[in-house]
Amino acid sequence: MSKANKISARTSRSNVSPSAKVTISQLPTGVRGLDEILGGGLPEFSFNIIAGAPGCGKTTLAHQIIFANATPEKPALYFTVLGEPALKMLRYQQQYSFFDPAKLNKSIRFVNLTDIVLKKDLGGVLEAISKEVQASSPNIVVVDSFRSVVRKARGKDVMELQGFVQHLALLLTSWQATTFLIGEYSTGEVQDNAIFTVADGILWLTQVTERNSVVRKLQIMKLRGQESVPGLHTVRIDQDGLQAFSRTMGLAGKRDTWKKKKRLSTGIAELDKLMGGGIYEGDNVLVAGPSGTGKSALGTHFLAEGLRHGEPGIAAIFEERPQGYVARAKGFGLDLETPQKTGMLEILYLRPLDGPLGGRDDAGNSRCRETAQGQAAGDRFARGLRDGVGARFPGGLS
């Protein structure tokens, strides 16, 4: 389909009768945990803003999206404007595991507009973007970094700047492509800048300082057409790029209900009797008490009992070292070494100095969720625990 047809296709869609429901396809983001937060993925043909301060991971997020989606038939165009020179950016981005050099040029094309910005006016930038898009009919268009364009125009006629911003947003919304503007903004600008009203989606990345630790956060500030998980979600960046940890266990109302619940033995017969048969499958149980009263021992017995019944388990420990944990279990006559070797038991050691509790909680939570494959059992880590957490998976490992 030619670009002109694509534009008219998009325009005509808005004229359809209200009774004809349009199904919106979703694009995977390629970011672990993010599709779940978005409610499935990014709506196709949406215009999105990826905002945040320098170093928040905006460019990395956009790269993950294009590498996850671009093909020779459905290519992506990536414009760099002043911010980070394309060559330098690619040098850094190549370090990530998702970066696939085979996709360069055929599926993903990087276009550096810095020279045009320096030599020409803002109109030249719009012209160049339009021309490139008309020529290759991309499915994804990214403009990185937008704020630098605005800064360049400071001191010029404000009308020209506003016109430029609106024109660019209009261009990005009018094409039948999923589009992204990447920029540095402060949260205060959301009220003042018209571009945030035009956008279909706003993904906001931040770095929050909590005591001496810095935690990355992501907020889906806006997402037209679908429900997403609200709030600030923790984000990590490693060699595989961004990873997002949903603040809640996914969208509301999607959890398993009571009818599936059965009792799980704690491994301590008398305690099971006292509790009416054990702990309800899927419950979050806080074991509290002063030092030396047997909290960790109870958790160990619970896990070992599950292992005896062929249920895999995870122990996340914060204070003790895994070797000590296993040795103490041995003292009770419980073997945790063999199940670790066979993959039935995983002991996650989440050191207290690795970041604030939230981050460790999210890491354990995520591992449990991966393991439980959506089961309700043991998929929750309670915040504020001092010792650690144990979870059993009666339905087996994924």
Ligand X SMILES: Nc1ncnc2c1ncn2[C@@H]1O[C@H](COP(=O)(O)OP(=O)(O)OP(=O)(O)O)[C@@H](O)[C@H]1O
Q: Which residues bind ligand X (CB under 6 A)?
A: 52, 54-60, 83-84, 95, 145, 184, 237-239
Task: Name the minimum Å distance from CB 92 to ligand X.
Answer: 7
Q: Tell me 23's DSSP state.
A: P
Q: What's the min distance (Å) between Cβ of 167 and ligand X?
A: 23
Query: Which entry of ligand X, Mg ion, none binds 57, CB below 5 to 8 A by partner kind?
Result: ligand X
Does position 60 interact with Mg ion (CB under 5 A)? The reply is no
Stretch that binds Mg ion, among 57-65, 114-122, 129-137, 237-245 (CB under 5 A): 57-65
Q: What is the dihedral of CA 97, 139, 62, 26, to 10 degrees?
A: -90
Contact partner, 54, from ligand X, Mg ion, none, Cβ < 5-8 Å per class: ligand X
362-365 CB contacts, 8 Å cutoff, 24+ apart: 362/234, 362/245, 363/245, 364/314, 364/316, 364/389, 365/245
Instruction: Pick the piece of the chain touching Mg ion (CB under 5 A) from 52-60, 281-289, 332-340, 362-370.
Output: 52-60
Binding letters toward Mg ion, positions 119-158, x by CB under 5 A: ----------------------------------------
Interacting stretch for Mg ion, rule CB under 5 A, among 55-63, 128-136, 184-192, 245-253? 55-63
3-state secondary structure of 211: coil
Output the six-digit token pair for 49: 């803003």
Half-sphere exposure of 327 (CA within 13 A, CB side): 5
Burial of 17 (0-12, 13-18, 19+ CB in 10 A): exposed
CB-CB contact of 77 with 132 (8 Å):
yes
C-beta of 54: minimal distance to ligand X in Å? 4
Sheet containing 313-317: order of strands? 345-349, 313-317, 388-392
Cβ nearer to Mg ion, comparing 59 with 243: 59
Please report how many Cα atoms fall inside a 13 Å half-sphere around the Cα of residue 58, on the Cβ side. Answer: 29
User: Among ligand X, Mg ion, none, what does residue 17 contact (CB within 5–8 Å per kind)?
Assistant: none
Q: Does 59 help bind Mg ion (rule: CB under 5 A)? A: yes
Name which of 58 and 295 has its Cβ closer to ligand X.
58
Rounded alpha-carbon distances, angstroms, from residue 320 to 331, 339, 381: 16, 19, 17
Residue 60, binding choice from Mg ion, ligand X, none, Cβ under 5 to 8 Å by partner class: ligand X
CA nearest to 78, candidates 116, 113, 104, 109 = 109
Number of residues that bind Mg ion (CB under 5 A): 1
State phi, psi for 314 to the nearest 5 degrees: -130, 135
In whole angstroms, the minimum distance from the beta carbon of 36 to ligand X comes to 21
**Among 51-59, 316-324, 329-337, 366-374, which window interacts with Mg ion (CB under 5 A)?**
51-59
We find the least distance from the C-beta atom of residue 202 to ligand X, in angstroms, to be 15
Shortest separation between residue 86's beta carbon and ligand X, angstroms: 12
Residues ≥6 apart with Cβ < 8 Å to 28: 35, 41, 68, 69
What residue spans of 153-259 are helical by DSSP H? 158-174, 189-192, 195-198
Residue type, 148: S
Query: Where does this chain touch Mg ion (CB under 5 A) — which range of 56-64, 153-161, 335-343, 373-381?
Result: 56-64
CB-closest chain residue to Mg ion: 59
Q: CA-CA distance, 95 to 64, in Å (whole number)?
A: 12
Per partner kind, with CB cut-offs from 5 to 8 A, the member of Mg ion, ligand X, none near residue 237 is ligand X
Rounded least distance, CB 247 to Mg ion, Å? 25
Q: Least distance (Å) from Mg ion to the CB of residue 142?
A: 11
Minimum CB distance to Mg ion, residue 59 (Å): 3
Cβ distance to ligand X smaller for residue 145 or 234: 145
Which of helix, strand or coil describes residue 389? strand
- Contacting residues toward Mg ion, per CB under 5 A: 59
